Amino acid sequence: MTKRKIVLKMGGSLLFDSSLSLQLTKLTKIVEILQEAKNIAAIIIGGGKIARKYIQAARKLNANESLCDTFGIQASRLNALLLITALGPHAYPTVITSPNDISQAALSQRILVSGGFIPGQSTTSVTFQIAEILDATDVIILTDVDGIYNKDPNKHPDAIKFDSLSISELEQVIYGTGGKTQAAAGEYRIFDAVSLQILKRSGFRVRLINGNDPNALRTLLVQANFEASFGTAVVKDMKKK
């Protein structure tokens, strides 16, 4: 069996509570599991609420979308530095800011930590870019919900969770049939356009799980039990004959 190489994305939503305070106890609990985990090559963290606050302020000051994105990128890098601090010697000591830095930093055998790269995409795209460069076998996305639903579970109590879905089904769920995308700074969907393109051509498996569920984290990351059916798996479309 090939050895697993995992690239992890931590949604910025896991870091802040509704009043924008950093949830350090939660972060520490997640980090304890990450320190025990096997096979994590890189972690990418989102901007979360702090990014959205800065983006809103920049927009009010008439910043263009690229500059708004830059605020999001900087916020995610600040979160990445906090994660490096929490991970201690397990982490490569500086935030990875470009794909060009990855190969050399990977020689350290420590966990690489990154936030955003360039305007026009989300940290999910960065996650898939890094997963491709590192030849990862698995990408695990930690969010604040149990998986991918047919509609927003926070607004609709009757929302149904998918145990697995194909990339084209995922596109349907995210963009609907009208093909509308959401690509303003701070508002990229969990899978934005760039990430979907990389996902279609890549070889890694993707699973989205709830980062607040220590059982799911331990099962996948510490016990490396990928047979367990936590969250939602995104699978390749079957080739039509």
Q: Of the candidates 6, 34, 37, 46, which one interacts with ligand UTP according to CB under 6 A?
A: 46
Distance of CA 156 to the CA centre of its chain: 24
Separation between Cα atoms, residue 103 and residue 89, nearest integer Å: 19
Between 79 and 137, CB nearer to ligand UTP: 79
Between 97 and 224, CB nearer to ligand UTP: 97
Q: Is 30 in the site for ligand UTP (CB under 6 A)?
A: no
Q: Is 212 in the site for ligand UTP (CB under 6 A)?
A: no
Spatial CA neighbour of 13 closest among 29, 3, 26, 1: 26
Dihedral pair phi/psi, residue 11, rounded to 5° = -65, 140
Q: Of the candidates 6, 37, 73, 170, which one interacts with ligand UTP according to CB under 6 A?
A: 73
Using the rule CB under 6 A, give the single segment among 11-19, 86-94, 148-156, 162-170 that binds ligand UTP: 11-19
DSSP structure string for 166-185:
EHHHHHHHHHTTTT----ST
Are the beta carbons of 94 and 23 closer than 8 angstroms? no
Q: Of the candidates 7, 40, 134, 186, which one interacts with ligand UTP according to CB under 6 A?
A: 186
Q: Count residues contacting ligand UTP (CB under 6 A)?
A: 24
Between 66 and 223, CB nearer to ligand UTP: 66
Separation between Cα atoms, residue 130 and residue 211, nearest integer Å: 20
Separation between Cα atoms, residue 208 and residue 101, nearest integer Å: 26
Spatial CA neighbour of 140 closest among 23, 27, 41: 41
DSSP structure string for 115-131:
---STTS-HHHHHHHHH
Number of H helices, E strands in the chain: 8, 7
Q: Is 211 in the site for ligand UTP (CB under 6 A)?
A: no
Q: Is 11 in the site for ligand UTP (CB under 6 A)?
A: yes
Q: x-or-dash pattern for ligand UTP, window 49-68, by CB under 6 A?
A: --x-----------------
CB of 72 to ligand UTP, least distance (A): 2
Q: Is 173 in the site for ligand UTP (CB under 6 A)?
A: no
Q: x-or-dash pattern for ligand UTP, window 108-127, by CB under 6 A?
A: --------xxxx-xxx-xx-
List residues near ligand UTP by CB under 6 A. Answer: 11-13, 46-48, 51, 69, 72-73, 76, 116-119, 121-123, 125-126, 185-186, 188, 190
